[in-house]
Amino acid sequence: MFHNIVEILTLIASSIVQYIFYRRGIPKDFKPKRILVVKLDHIGDVILATPVFSNLRLTFPDADIDALTGDWSRVILENHPDVNKVWVYNSPAFSRSQKPTPLKEVFQLYRNLQGQNYDLLINLRGDWRVILLSLFRVSSKRIDRASIQVANKFGSAQFSSKHEASRNLDVLKRVGIPTPIQHATFSVTSEDEEWASKFLLDQNINLDQPIIAIHPGSPIPLKRWIPKRYAELADWLVEKKSAKVLFVGVKDEIPIITEIQDIMHRESISIAGKTNLPQLASILLKITVFIGNDSGPMHLAAAVGTNTIGLFGPGDPERFGPIGHNCATLRKKLNCPPCTGKVCRFGEEGCMSKIQVTDVVLTLKEHNFL
């Protein structure tokens, strides 16, 4: 509840700053030489914001386009071909496993950014300290997603759709910047591709057989599908499709994967904790299908163009679903409200329990993913 109140107040404050200090807007012939895009969210949200950088580069090919994001997401934007420089700031509002940036370093960041002479600041999602950046006039012009969100509540400025990626792009469209690029991207280098091929061979995985990556984890427990059903699905994939099942995730998710593998009757491989983000992306690029909960790896799989099935419960796939030509989502409890708690209002197993193994199998068949 407290977090929601702080977020609402932040949106209102950011909108007020936009209205008072940047009221004159963006002229039609505006051609910024230096742009700073602020997106402090978690990995999946930052991936969904990558079309913003692609469209900015398309419109302003000679501009320096920089980003301000959390350390957990820096590699996403450092790997993006349309980003020149990434500034790191770990906001207290978004830090999970990493510590927030100390206040002393925040003021040093202010000074550094003031010296960059940005022509345009694009605030996709910040916090109170980012609002101060605007008050310190880090840039001469500013556009702000919060302003659209607040106006949207009063019916004066409507988002073009419900999805996060579209709402990010609406910030550009509102000032006349074209947005023909709609899909998220994550660039995989040739070196990473070579590494992935060798890594998979070392795991005795034949690239000629179907490879199914499963991510059963999530930082939010209520977003996790039941381990027993992941085990049943994995066994079906091995028995019926002669697939190699590859469990992915971070080190902290190893206990979840171990529990699933202990239930399984067939063999599978876990590479949880063995890859960084670019390495995981290079592996996901080579697999047949990704199946997982609403989380960063799901968006990463979609961003590299892999067939992706996202399992949703408390999250809303219409707003946070993977975007791409080869993406599908499953959500059975349609009236489930967004929540991040540890206890589900619909029962002990939560709304994710409404998804059955047969639902995932049917989705695989309907989309010809296997």
Tell me what the pLDDT averaged over the chain comes to. Answer: 93
For residue 246, what are its two tokens? 């590859």
Sequential DSSP letters for 216-273: ---SSGGGPPPHHHHHHHHHHHHHHH-PEEEE---GGGHHHHHHHHHH-SS--EE-TT
- % of the chain at pLDDT higher than 70: 97
**Residue 38: strand pairing partners:** 68, 123
Whether residue 341 has pLDDT greater than 70: no
Task: Assign 170 to helix, strand or coil.
Answer: helix
Instruction: Tell me what the mean pLDDT of segment 331-356 comes to.
Output: 78
Angle subtended at Cα 210 by Cα 207 and Cα 212, rounded to the nearest 5 degrees:
105
By DSSP bridging, strand 269-270 and strand 139-144 are: unpaired
For residue 19, what are its two tokens? 């209205």
Whether residue 36 has pLDDT greater than 80: yes
For residue 351, what are its two tokens? 């709304």
Lowest mean pLDDT among 9-18, 149-158, 278-287: 149-158
- At 97-146, the pLDDT tens digits run 889 999 999 999 999 999 999 999 999 999 999 998 888 888 999 999 99
Whether residue 78 has pLDDT greater than 80: yes
Q: Nearest 10 degrees: CA dihedral of 8, 9, 12, 13?
A: -150
Lowest mean pLDDT among 8-12, 136-140, 329-333: 136-140
Q: What pTM does this model have?
A: 0.94
227 pLDDT band (50/70/90 cuts)?
Answer: very high
2 pLDDT band (50/70/90 cuts)?
Answer: low
200 pLDDT band (50/70/90 cuts)?
Answer: very high
End-to-end CA distance of the chain: 43
Q: Residue 337: what residue type? A: P
Q: Which residues contact 103 (CB under 8 A, 6 or more apart)?
A: none
Per-residue exposure over 225-261, b if at least 16 CB sit within 10 Å of its own CB, e if not: bbbebbbbbbbbbbeebebbbbbbbbeebbebbeebb
Whether residue 73 has pLDDT greater than 90: yes
Residue 216 Rama label (left phi>0; alpha psi -120 to 50; beta): alpha
Whether residue 157 has pLDDT greater than 90: no
CB atoms within 10 A of CB 151: 16
